[in-house]
Amino acid sequence: MNPIKTLRLALLAILLIGMLGSAIELLLLGHTEGWREWIPLLLILAGLSAVAWHGLRSTALTVQVLRILWIAFVAGGLAGIYFHYLGSVEFKLESNPGLSGWPLFWQAIQSKAPPLLAPGALAQLGLIGLAYTYRHPALARRRVEIE
């Protein structure tokens, strides 16, 4: 088997395991309270659906849809880090209203709830997905068809 194809399949397997594991964890944690908490679950659902579609029919279109989704994963992960930071700041200010500036920042980023960098897993999955689509063979087939 072609080593690049093997690597691409391994990346896809990592993506599927990561998306399923993240979705299960988010559901078990009850990460469904507000609209912001639904963002990663909806992205994962869209990602799983797009990967299934791509698995059934690997075309340039499915690869492009995946790329758009993986970019959305990265953006969603970064937004999640920001939202977790805001949640930590709010929690720290409730327990100590006198905090401000650097002391507030440091306490917020060291907070265990919500975990500041947990949404980074979504961004990481998006980066793995972008690696999966890099120079994907379906894109080469499209170039041949156009020429």
pLDDT tens-digit map of 37-76: 999 999 999 999 999 999 999 999 999 999 999 999 999 9
pTM above 0.85, yes or no: yes
Cα Rg for the chain, rounded, in angstroms? 19
**Domain ranges for the chain:** 3-146
Closest CA to 70 of 126, 141, 128: 126
Q: What is the pLDDT of residues 4-33, one digit of tens each?
A: 999 999 999 999 999 999 999 999 999 999
**CA–CA separation, 4 vs 11, rounded Å?**
10
Q: Are the C-beta atoms of 138 and 59 separated by less than 8 Å?
A: yes
**Average pLDDT along the chain:** 93
Judged against a pLDDT cut of 90, whether residue 106 lies above it is answered with yes
**CA–CA separation, 51 vs 35, rounded Å?**
24
